[in-house]
Structure formats: structure tokens, C-alpha cells
């Protein structure tokens, strides 16, 4: 696949994977993107997951049509992109690896290699000429790891964006970009909004026609749409109007409260209510929803003088990703000493700009008449 006249796609699709990065389900697989820039000199951009060594080396061979690559540019050392560096360097003994100083430290730690005489260490603003194409390196620490850089080709106006603008899903499956890009972004980079904002500022100074990420499709048209979403996500602003309800229920009573609240919210004019049963849903999808909408209701039971484990895990996922700028409603259930609301508030204590709804709901086992009225009041308050 040609991205431009001189840039070819040489990545792979993975439909064997069960969990990406050991935790994310990827029903439509995963793509590990790699690109070849063919000029007087040839640069290969990043490698792919270990399991696709032969396919990737074969893709390189086909794309290069008898020529040999001069450079392997490694923008990110996470093994989904770095695992085949050694195979590449063995297959092309004259090639030189290009990466940041931090990446070379990781190279030693992961693969016990240094390529001391076959490396170019680059930093912010350094350039590499391939002939007509000049590549500029832009550091992007913590998008997604500290060693990350992105690369700009000023001739074709292409930004090789590393993990930024990536998504779950292989490239041979048609699916909505935003849904799986958001789940990927919030899950993997969500904590590092400030660093993504810094990268967006640097990118703003470049004229970009095409974004080539390490996962997901190459983006060519309507780039403002993708950059706009990245701006919303990394600044923790509300993307969509609506209310998320995240809940756990042991005997079904908390679930009844959630169903009643969902109906009341819709009656009150709320167009979108996203409901997630945290014991059964994809946790990453629930976390994604929590960041997407501006209002969230947490409904859970007291458990071991604490809160139910799935809710605890969920809130931990939120706070460790800098959850902020939300209105939060709480429904707690407890048969003798409800403490869930107190625990939730304590867990969110350090989160910035959290406003708790005025209506607080305490269920003592099953829904009382008073609880039903409170649910109506909460629905009106949030809608």
C-alpha cells in the first residue's frame, strides 16, 4: 500500500491476540504499523510485534524491491513496535538504528543490545536527510513512554505520530474510528493529557497532510476532526452530552435503582444514558464512557466496610488517569452500615473539579418509596 509516492505501508494485522498489553480485549484484532520511506537513502519506521517477524521482513523486502534499508527509525520502544529490531539489524548488517538516548537505554534493557557502532542518537529538532526527504524528530515524552519521539517528513507533509492517533482494531476490519481510538487513548495514554497537549502544540506548528500512527488507519482527510478529538480527550473536556451510570449490584436491588434512574433520566430529556454493569462489561469501555461524558452516577454496595471490588477497581482506573471536570451522583446501598458514599468521596478527593450532585441516595437493602422520589430528583438534577 502506498501512502505517498515514496512512503509505503509495511505493517501487519494481528487477529491472534487475546489481550493487548495484557489487559485490553481487541475483538477486531490489532494493527502494528510500520512504514518505509524510499529515497536515495531508505528509512524503515519502527518494527512490529514479535510474532510477525517473518511477515514484516517479507513486507520490507517486497516494498524495497531489491534495495536495502539504510536506517531503522525507532520512535517507541514498547515491544509491540521494538520486538523485531534485532531481527532487522541482523537481516540488514549495514543499517543504522535511529532513536532517542532514552530509547537506546531501553534497547539495552529489553534486548541486551547497544549497536554502539550502528546507531544515531537524536534529540528534539534533529534532522536526517534521506535525499529529497528530510525527517525532523520531535520528542513526545509520555505519549506513551518517556523515550517516544514522532517524526515529520517535510516533503510529503507526513507526521509519523507513534502511538498518538492510534486505535485498537486490525486494518482489514471496517469500524468507526472514534470508538476504538477513544478506548485506546483513554486506556493507554489517558493519564498523560498534559504531555499530549504539549505534542499537539508542537504539531500545530507543522503543515500536516497525513498522519501515520503505529496503530490504526493512516489518516489523510479531515485531520481537524481527529486532532479536535485529541484536544478534547487530552484536556479532559466533555466530548458528548449525556450521563453515564456505572454500577455493581449483588442481589439486584442496586440494579433496580439504576434502571429506574435510567428511565427517569430519559423522561427528563436526557438523550444519552450509558449504563455499565462493572462486573460484566468491558472495564475499558466503562472507563472510556466516564471520560467521554460530563456527568456520571456511581451506584454500588458497601462491602467489607468498603465498596464492591469492581467499583473500587473502576474508580482506581479513573483517578490514575487524572479523572476531572465531572458532576458525580452517588447511589449507595448497604444493609446495616452503608459506607460506600463516604469511600467514593474519599477516593475522588484528589480529582480536580468534581462537583457532587445535591441529591444523595442511600438504599438500605431494597428501594424505598423515598428512594424512588430521590431517584427522580437526581434525574432532574442531572438532566
Choice from 163, 262, 285, 376 touching ligand FEO (CB under 6 A)? 163
Choice from 42, 43, 85, 214 touching ligand FEO (CB under 6 A)? 214
Interior angle at CA 211, CA 210 and CA 214, nearest 5: 145
Q: Which is nearer to ligand FEO, 96 or 188 (CB)?
A: 188
CA–CA dist 338, 347 (Å, integer): 16
Least spacing, CB of residue 80 vs ligand FEO, in Å: 5
CA–CA dist 361, 373 (Å, integer): 10
Kindly list the distances between the CA atom of residue 249 and the CA atoms of 154, 275, 279, in Å, as whole numbers in the listed order.
55, 13, 8
Q: Which is nearer to ligand FEO, 144 or 321 (CB)?
A: 144
For ligand FEO, which stretch binds (CB under 6 A), given 74-82, 240-248, 299-307, 313-321? 74-82
Number of residues that bind ligand FEO (CB under 6 A): 8
DSSP codes of every residue in 231-278: HHHHTT---EEEEEEEE--SSSHHHHHHHHHHHHHHHTT-S-EEEEET
Least spacing, CB of residue 356 vs ligand FEO, in Å: 35
Helix (H) or strand (E) holding 52: none
Q: Which is nearer to ligand FEO, 215 or 264 (CB)?
A: 215
- Identify the DSSP state of 92: -
Least spacing, CB of residue 53 vs ligand FEO, in Å: 17
CA–CA dist 380, 121 (Å, integer): 58
Choice from 133, 215, 295, 321 touching ligand FEO (CB under 6 A)? 215
Least spacing, CB of residue 16 vs ligand FEO, in Å: 17
Least spacing, CB of residue 154 vs ligand FEO, in Å: 25
Output the residue with the shortest Cβ distance to ligand FEO: 78
Burial class (CB in 10 A: 0-12, 13-18, 19+), 109: exposed
Is residue 81 part of the contact set for ligand FEO (CB under 6 A)?
yes
For ligand FEO, which stretch binds (CB under 6 A), given 77-85, 127-135, 233-241, 287-295? 77-85
Length of the chain: 383
Under 8 Å CB-to-CB from 121, ≥6 apart: which residues?
Answer: 99, 100, 101, 104
By the 8 A CB rule, do 367 and 336 touch? Answer: no
Is residue 144 part of the contact set for ligand FEO (CB under 6 A)?
yes
Q: Which is nearer to ligand FEO, 107 or 299 (CB)?
A: 107
Least spacing, CB of residue 116 vs ligand FEO, in Å: 26
x-or-dash pattern for ligand FEO, window 309-328, by CB under 6 A? --------------------
Choice from 6, 39, 49, 78 touching ligand FEO (CB under 6 A)? 78
Which residues are registered as beta bridge partners of 159? 152, 211
Pairing type for strands 24-25 and 19-20 reads: antiparallel
Is residue 80 part of the contact set for ligand FEO (CB under 6 A)?
yes
Is residue 292 part of the contact set for ligand FEO (CB under 6 A)?
no
Helix (H) or strand (E) holding 25: strand 24-25
By the 8 A CB rule, do 16 and 51 touch? Answer: yes
Least spacing, CB of residue 133 vs ligand FEO, in Å: 24
Is residue 43 part of the contact set for ligand FEO (CB under 6 A)?
no
C-alpha cell at 144: 506513551
Is residue 183 part of the contact set for ligand FEO (CB under 6 A)?
no
**Of 226, 233, 139, which is closest to residue 192 (Cα–Cα)?**
233
Q: Which is nearer to ligand FEO, 10 or 257 (CB)?
A: 10
Is residue 295 part of the contact set for ligand FEO (CB under 6 A)?
no
Pairing type for strands 273-277 and 7-9 reads: unpaired
| Residues in touch with ligand FEO (CB under 6 A) | 76, 78, 80-81, 144, 163, 214-215
Amino acid at each position: 500500500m502506498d501512502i505517498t509516492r515514496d512512503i509505503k505501508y509495511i505493517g501487519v494485522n494481528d487477529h491472534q491476540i487475546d489481550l493487548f498489553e495484557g489487559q485490553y480485549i481487541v475483538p477486531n484484532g490489532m494493527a502494528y504499523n510500520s512504514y518505509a520511506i524510499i529515497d536515495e537513502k531508505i528509512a524503515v519506521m519502527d518494527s512490529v510485534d514479535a510474532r510477525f517477524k517473518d511477515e514484516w521482513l517479507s513486507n520490507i523486502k517486497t516494498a524495497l524491491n531489491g534495495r536495502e534499508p539504510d536506517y531503522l527509525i525507532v520512535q517507541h520502544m514498547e515491544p509491540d513496535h521494538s520486538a523485531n529490531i534485532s531481527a532487522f539489524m541482523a537481516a540488514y548488517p549495514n543499517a543504522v538504528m535511529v532513536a532517542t538516548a532514552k530509547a537506546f537505554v531501553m534497547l539495552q534493557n529489553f534486548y541486551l543490545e547497544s549497536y554502539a557502532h550502528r546507531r544515531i542518537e537524536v534529540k528534539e529538532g534533529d534532522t536526517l536527510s534521506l535525499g529529497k526527504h528530510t525527517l525532523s524528530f520531535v520528542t513526545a515524552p509520555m505519549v506513551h513512554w518517556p523515550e517516544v519521539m514522532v517524526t515529520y517528513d517535510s516533503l510529503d507533509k507526513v507526521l509519523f505520530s507513534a502511538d498518538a492517533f492510534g486505535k485498537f482494531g486490525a486494518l482489514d476490519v471496517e469500524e468507526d474510528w472514534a470508538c476504538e481510538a477513544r478506548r485506546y487513548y483513554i486506556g493507554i495514554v489517558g493519564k498523560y493529557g498534559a504531555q499530549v497537549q504539549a505534542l499537539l502544540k508542537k504539531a500545530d506548528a507543522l503543515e500536516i497532510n497525513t498522519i501515520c500512527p503505529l496503530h490504526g488507519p493512516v489518516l489523510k482527510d479531515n485531520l481537524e476532526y481527529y486532532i479536535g478529538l485529541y484536544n478534547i480527550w487530552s484536556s479532559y473536556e466533555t466530548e458528548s452530552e449525556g450521563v453515564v451510570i456505572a454500577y455493581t449490584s449483588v442481589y439486584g436491588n442496586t440494579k433496580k435503582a439504576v434502571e429506574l434512574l435510567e428511565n427517569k433520566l430519559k423522561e427528563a430529556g436526557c438523550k444519552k444514558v450509558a449504563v455499565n454493569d462493572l462486573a460484566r462489561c468491558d472495564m475499558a469501555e466503562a472507563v472510556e464512557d466516564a471520560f467521554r461524558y460530563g456527568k456520571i452516577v456511581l451506584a454500588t454496595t458497601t462491602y467489607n466496610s468498603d465498596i464492591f471490588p469492581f467499583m473500587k477497581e473502576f474508580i482506581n482506573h479513573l483517578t490514575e488517569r487524572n479523572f476531572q471536570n465531572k458532576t458525580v451522583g452517588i447511589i449507595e446501598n448497604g444493609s446495616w452500615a452503608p459506607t460506600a458514599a463516604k469511600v467514593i468521596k474519599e477516593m475522588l478527593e484528589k480529582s480536580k473539579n468534581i462537583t457532587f450532585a445535591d441529591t444523595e441516595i442511600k438504599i438500605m437493602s431494597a428501594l424505598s418509596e423515598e428512594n424512588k422520589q430521590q431517584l427522580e430528583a437526581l434525574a432532574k438534577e442531572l438532566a
